[in-house]
Amino acid sequence: MASMEADGGMDALPDSVVQHILSQFRNARDVAACAAVARCWRGCMPYLPSLYFPRGAFEADAIGRMVAAAARLEELVLYCPFSASLLPCWLAARATMLRVLELRVDSAADRAGHHLDCASVAAGIEELRLPHHAAAPSPWPER
């Protein structure tokens, strides 16, 4: 461990190790925290297979940047307020890989004139989950 610290700490880890570690993360807060800790981890967003955005965690522009950067994104879970008008862009950016989409419907921030019927943009979606806050609790632990 001392030699790793002398050579640059966490930045000294091989890319394959960093990619494997990050591929195990789901919570977008954890991913953002890791990117803040080590410069080399910032470029590993493309390797994330799943992103979960908990309530109150991110603004729509941050969600868009993270989704756009996650080239291998297979699962997207949005429990924080999101922009229904931006959702089609996010889905289109990951259309070829996205398999699971979970949207907390009451979290759509801009309901006026925008509908959540854009799931067809990502034709590869195999599972669409639309829990409502009163009907189903979040399966993800709150932090």
Highest mean pLDDT among 71-85, 94-108, 129-143: 71-85
Cα separations in angstroms, 17 against 13, 20, 24, 59, 125: 6, 5, 11, 30, 29
Within a domain: 7: no
Q: How many domains does the chain have?
A: 1
Q: Does residue 136 form part of some domain?
A: no
3-state helix, strand, coil in the chain (%, to 5): 45, 15, 45
Is there a domain that residue 118 lies in?
A: yes
Tens of pLDDT along 41-68? 767 778 888 999 988 778 888 889 889 9
Domain that holds residue 35: 13-129
- The answer to whether 93 and 67 have CB atoms below 8 angstroms apart is yes
Task: Compute the mean pLDDT over every residue in the chain, rounded to the nearest whole number.
Answer: 77
Is 54 domain-assigned?
yes
Residue 135 forms part of a structural domain: no
Would residue 5 count as lying in a domain? Answer: no
Q: Which residues fall within 8 angstroms of residue 45, CB to CB, at 6 or more apart? A: 22, 31, 35, 66, 69, 70, 71
| Residue 79: inside a domain | yes
- DSSP code for 100: E
- Is there a domain that residue 120 lies in? yes
The whole-number average pLDDT for the span 82-95 is 86
- pLDDT (tens digit, 9 = 90+) per residue, 110-135? 555 455 667 678 888 999 888 865 44
Which residue type does 137 have?
A: P
